[in-house]
Chains A and B, each alone.
Chain A
Amino acid sequence: MRDSFNRIAAMTARYGYLLRSSWIRLAEVIYWPTMQMLVWGFLYTYLYTSDSKIANTAGPLLGAVLLWDVLFRGQLGFTFTFLEEVWSRNIANLMMSPLTSGELAVSLMGVSFIRMLIGTLPVTLLVTVLFAFNIYTLGLPLIAFFLNLVLTSWALGLVLCGLVTRYGLGAETYAWSVMILLLPLCCVYYPVWVLPFWLQPLAWSLAPTYVFEGMRAVLLDGSFRADLMIEALALNIFYLVGGFGVFLWLLQNARHRGLLLAMGE
């Protein structure tokens, strides 16, 4: 157990060295969420001041943007940290070391969490200062939203890392594009009933849908839907176990095909 903890700490330190080695890299983590938030923040200001009917939608909109970023940055942080290993042709070194796949996954989760905090926390403060929208007024439900989105981002990250291991850098593009597929289905900016009837079951099979519905319930009705959060958590546990299973399966597949040694070339 102690050995395992030391190896996870070593990998976390390794990613810490990497972030510290380049301020451009660190700035990039903050840059995108900040730019996105500025655009949506100005839209929020416009909506809030222009018409009393749509003013009500301004808060959920900005909340949705912030929470979507948690999901998006969490997944990117996870996947790109793994891709760093592939780009630097270091995967074989790691796979030959006593580091287990589980320890690698845990260290990627830890780093994804840190990267996401670095990218998101300053933005929430910026939004409070510039647009007077304080997401922390959501209170304790925010922790439930945050936790569920982070878990989903890790499950997705595991599957994407498995795909990169099995299919090489050709699968790298999915690190970006898979979230675009989820964006309309998770009902980030609108309620689930807006979707066509046949798409709604698919939306409800995605844990983030429950989070965004829950957020709207808090911001529009002032009620916290604990049932939605529990359902999201159950789905996320299923996703995480499934995601890790897929990661292990694709890794073993890559081992059978002799892909690990030449990975990154």
Chain B
Amino acid sequence: MYHMAKSALEGAVQSQLPPPVIKEEFAPAIAVEDLCKNYSGHWAVDEVNFVVPRGWTIGLLGGNGAGKTTTIAMIMGLVVPSYGRAVVLGHDMARDRRKVLKRMNFESPYVALPARLTVRQNLTVFGRLYGVPNVAARIEELAYDFAFSEILDHATGTLSAGQKTRVSIAKALINKPEVLLLDEPTASLDPDRAEWVRANLQRYQLEHGATILLSSHNMLEVEQMCDFVVIMSFGRVVEMGFPRELAARHSCETLNEVFIQLARREEELLD
């Protein structure tokens, strides 16, 4: 009944939502308000709310099909919400995403860089699309930071999975984004490289005051990088809090235990 009523209101209310009342400079980096996405009667994301203050790293956690990627896609403006909105740096992403796209970027395992182009060519194209001044110097800087100077002139399609991931992260940083969305950024990296990439991302965040929204299945990574954690299950937010606070609240030692506990509870509820 609740969902039926929400569906009926979907079209009408969506167009009547008031613009953000907070001035852009004081707005949080990301504000997700009553965000919902319905695919043919299935609620992939269901009334998700959270706010990411500027300069914070937020972990978006959840099992497969929890709605993390759809939530991130709505924050990026790639998917239009059925209800609610995702606001980035004060701009509603379903309405005026153009105003903010230059100030954000993303990395996702669902997308790739053109395989036939060299790493340098790919980064040059994206650097120019984002209006990066002195693209060549920025590429050299990123290649040094992420240790891929030696493969700059290799075709992207010939790189190993780990190299591709590092290049994709470099693409996500090409425009020095204020808001960075990372969907499982270290999934295809060995533990050593993953640790090293995390350190680079943290350094970038400290140097530029960037905000990072990170989706990951690696709880150690989340504990290491995130100031705050949002846990999703079946499209809804089931828990949120500071990593240590969350662990304490659930009488657990680690976030990993919290995640498993919540996942099992959801399974029991389903049964």
One digit per residue, 1 when the CB lies within 8 angstroms of any chain B CB and 0 when it does not, for chain A 222-265 equals 00000000000000000000000000000010011110111001
In the bound complex, what is the Cα–Cα distance between A93 and B114 (angstroms)?
Answer: 10
Q: Any chain B CB within 8 A of the CB of A13?
A: yes
One digit per residue, 1 when the CB lies within 8 angstroms of any chain B CB and 0 when it does not, for chain A 89-116 equals 1111111111110000000000000000
Interchain CB contact under 8 A, A14 and B121: yes
Of the residues A10, A85, A91, A96, contact of B128 by C-beta under 8 Å:
A10
Q: Which residue of A lies closest to B72 (CB)?
A: A261
Of the residues A13, A88, A98, A260, contact of B125 by C-beta under 8 Å:
A13
Q: How distant is A265 from chain B, measured CB to nearest CB, in Å? A: 8
Contact (A100, B98) CB under 8 Å given A6-B131, A13-B124, A256-B80: yes
Interchain CB contact under 8 A, A88 and B114: yes
Contacts of B9 in A (CB 8 A): none
List B residues 67-94 near A (Cβ within 8 Å): 69-70, 73, 76-80
Interchain CB contact under 8 A, B128 and A258: no
Q: Any chain B CB within 8 A of the CB of A84?
A: yes
Q: How distant is A3 from chain B, measured CB to nearest CB, in Å? A: 6
Contacts of B80 in A (CB 8 A): 252, 255-256
Contact (A3, B131) CB under 8 Å given A88-B114, A258-B39: yes
Q: Any chain B CB within 8 A of the CB of A173?
A: no
Interchain CB contact under 8 A, A21 and B116: yes
Contacts of A18 in B (CB 8 A): 114, 116-117
Q: Any chain A CB within 8 A of the CB of B252?
A: no
Task: Name the residue among B105, B128, B130 with the largest chain A CB count within 10 angstroms.
Answer: B128
State the B residues within 8 Å of A (CB). Answer: 37, 39, 44, 69-70, 73, 76-80, 98, 101-102, 104-106, 108, 110-118, 121, 124-126, 128-131, 155, 171
The 3 A-B residue pairs with the shortest CB-CB distance, nearest first, are A10-B128, A88-B114, A92-B111
